[in-house]
Structure 1
Amino acid sequence: MKIDDSLTPARLLPAIERMWALSAHKISALDASFDRARGAPVHTVAGRYQPKGWTDWTQGFEYGSALLQFDATGERHFLDTALTLIRDDMPQHITHFGVHDHGFNQVSTYGNLLRLVAEGKLPAEPGCLDYYRLAIRCSGAVQAYRWTALGAGEGFIHSFNGAHSLFIDTLRTLRVLLLGTTWDKS
């Protein structure tokens, strides 16, 4: 690896701005062209997103990307799109035991909404706050439910596949368990 000490945040800004411009285009293109009635965009075929009938785990990433786009650029239509899609599609995920990226879905959507409220970028509407917190707590409960005891206080949180299964996606999604038990209640 070659370290370039001449790089500064200011020099990186054009690349970062280009990245957000490309992101905006990709998010908008997917929103305009994808038929959600067929499922969630899971993989690409010939450069076009396709659903995979048995899974819809990517919706949290998709809608969370629109929230991050709003956060970075202030473009309100990304927030409006995300809020609509989260309201319409994410409730079914909140207590869904059969998906491996459960925590990612919730943290990318409801977690980002809570963070935006905490940062003063969204209004702190009591009903919305309560709902976002409940979503995170329920997701944390899904992770806790997956505890597999090995005895003597030891164990692990298994994947959605069952107690025989442990893989990295489960480990990466555990942050929702912590958020579900500690999110600021003020």
Structure 2
Amino acid sequence: MITRFSTLILALFLLTISAYSQKSNSFNVKKQLEYCAVQASKTLKVTPDDGTSPRTVPNGSKEWKFVGYKDWTSGFWPGELWYLYEATGDKKWEKEADKFSRFLTPLSVSKAGDHDLGFQVFNSFGNGYRLTKNKEYKDIILKTADTLATLFNPKVGTIQSWPHNKMGGHNTIIDNMMNLELLFWASKNGGNKKLYDIAVKHAETTMANHFRPDYSAYHVIIYDYETGKKIKGRTAQGYSDDSMWARGQAWAIYGFTMVYRETKDPKFLDFAHKVTRVYLDRLTTEDLIPYWDFNAAGIPNEPRDASAAAIVSSALIELSSYTKDKNLKNEYLTKSKKMIVSLSDHYQSHDVNSAFLLHSTGHKPAGSEIDCSINYADYYYLEALLRLQKLK
């Protein structure tokens, strides 16, 4: 009797595994890319031709809120258009991507307002140059890298994130890791070689000061302007100074993975694994889409953040490619695919609005962009789909 019962349990287990495997294997990346193209076409129809770009659709609305080129998210929409050109080869997307990218040109010759120039210019012109080799794009990228470098404080060893917000010292946020890619690229493509050194120093300083003993990230670190010493860690967009803000940890995972790609220094790869481990180990949601902050008081009645999941799903695909441990590599790929499937099956916007995804959270403490559609969630979701397609 026990043997028959055990056999039945084993059969049910194998059936469950088989069903999940079939679902994962049957996931149609091409279909999801086509969905993104349809949604983006709808957004194009309602986007004014005045230099603005779509940033967010508030919860309960169908209407995009548009922002000017100085907004930190202004590079994600043209970046999406470049990715759609890459996915389809359709010249329509190249034309639109070029137009919306060129709206951002003044950033390359203006005084640096904050660290977000990488998000703004490398996601737009950077993707454009990668796909077209347009020399005008390259010139804009190189000028922008020099502009970003002006925010580097050699006494601290990091780029200041928010010069306009003193916060009691030189502030650096974990998001800033993402903008180092602009400096690395420029240093290898005709720009000043010192840009490489600035990017490495920023990553090393962040690695030393920005993380708790369990490798969860503070959102903001305040440094003394003159001595360069760390004063304190705090949050701006997370639940508390000591909480693990989901998107902040996502920036760390993606950022250190990228720094390893650019430097091939094993200390950055090791650190990428460590900041990934704490995220995956503390991820308790069945669909692998995190709450906006891992320590938020109201879990499970807190908003999710699809943008964090999109960023991590894309980063895990890249990180898996540098991972020699077969079990770890398999874990990264399996969980990345599950995140992408979850986003595709349960978080797509469809007729709710013309964004790709619902349920992202921007700045909950400020009551801003809570449980809504946001352009950077769409950008990294589309990037993750393209990376997954290349794997297949």
Please report the TM-score for the alignment, with normalisation by the length of structure 1: 0.75
Once the two structures are superposed, what CA deviation does each residue of 1:103-161 show, in whole Å capped at 9, x if it has no partner?
Answer: 122211221122113xxxxxx5xxx31x22211111211221111132xxx52111143
Residue 63 of structure 1 corresponds to which residue in structure 2? 78
Measure the CA separation in 2 of the matches of 1:137 and 1:85.
19
Residue 92 of structure 1 corresponds to which residue in structure 2? 106
Q: State the aligned residue count.
A: 168
1:141 aligns with 2:143: no
Once the two structures are superposed, what CA deviation does each residue of 1:28-50 show, in whole Å capped at 9, x if it has no partner?
Answer: 11111023538432222213221
1:178 aligns with 2:193: no
Q: Is the 8 A contact 1:61 1:108 kept in 2?
A: yes
1:3–1:9 Cα change, 3 Å: closer
Q: Is the 8 A contact 2:160 2:172 kept in 1?
A: yes
Measure the CA separation in 2 of the matches of 1:84 and 1:132.
12
Residue 32 of structure 1 corresponds to which residue in structure 2? 45
Q: Is the 8 A contact 1:39 1:56 kept in 2?
A: no
1:109 aligns with 2:124: yes
1:74 aligns with 2:98: no
Considering only aligned residues, what root-mean-square deviation do their CA atoms show, in Å? 3.0
Q: Is the 8 A contact 1:60 1:105 kept in 2?
A: yes
1:55–1:48 Cα change, 3 Å: farther
Q: Is the 8 A contact 1:43 1:52 kept in 2?
A: no
Deviation of residue 54 (structure 1)? 9.5
Deviation of residue 102 (structure 1)? 0.9
Q: Is the 8 A contact 1:159 1:167 kept in 2?
A: yes
Measure the CA separation in 2 of the matches of 1:65 and 1:41.
11
Q: Summarize the alignment of residues 148-159 of structure 1 with structure 2, pairs less than 5 Å apart.
A: 148-150=153-155, 155-159=157-161
One-letter identity of the residue aligned with 1:146: L
One-letter identity of the residue aligned with 1:113: G
Deviation of residue 55 (structure 1)? 4.7
Measure the CA separation in 2 of the matches of 1:37 and 1:114.
23
Please report the TM-score for the alignment, with normalisation by the length of structure 2: 0.38
| Structure 1 unaligned spans of 5+ | 118-123
SS across alignment from 1:166: strand
Deviation of residue 7 (structure 1)? 6.1
Q: Percent sequence identity over matched residues?
A: 22
Measure the CA separation in 2 of the matches of 1:175 and 1:61.
15
Deviation of residue 67 (structure 1)? 0.9
Measure the CA separation in 1 of the matches of 2:66 and 2:161.
22
Measure the CA separation in 2 of the matches of 1:85 and 1:44.
19
Measure the CA separation in 1 of the matches of 2:69 and 2:126.
25
Measure the CA separation in 2 of the matches of 1:35 and 1:83.
15
One-letter identity of the residue aligned with 1:68: Y
Q: Is the 8 A contact 2:67 2:74 kept in 1?
A: no
Once the two structures are superposed, what CA deviation does each residue of 1:4-48 show, in whole Å capped at 9, x if it has no partner?
Answer: 794699633x2x112111211221111110235384322222132
Stretch moving more, 35-44 or 164-173? 35-44
Deviation of residue 75 (structure 1)? 1.6
SS across alignment from 1:103: helix
1:49 aligns with 2:55: no
SS across alignment from 2:109: coil
| Structure 2 unaligned spans of 5+ | 1-15, 192-392
SS across alignment from 1:59: coil
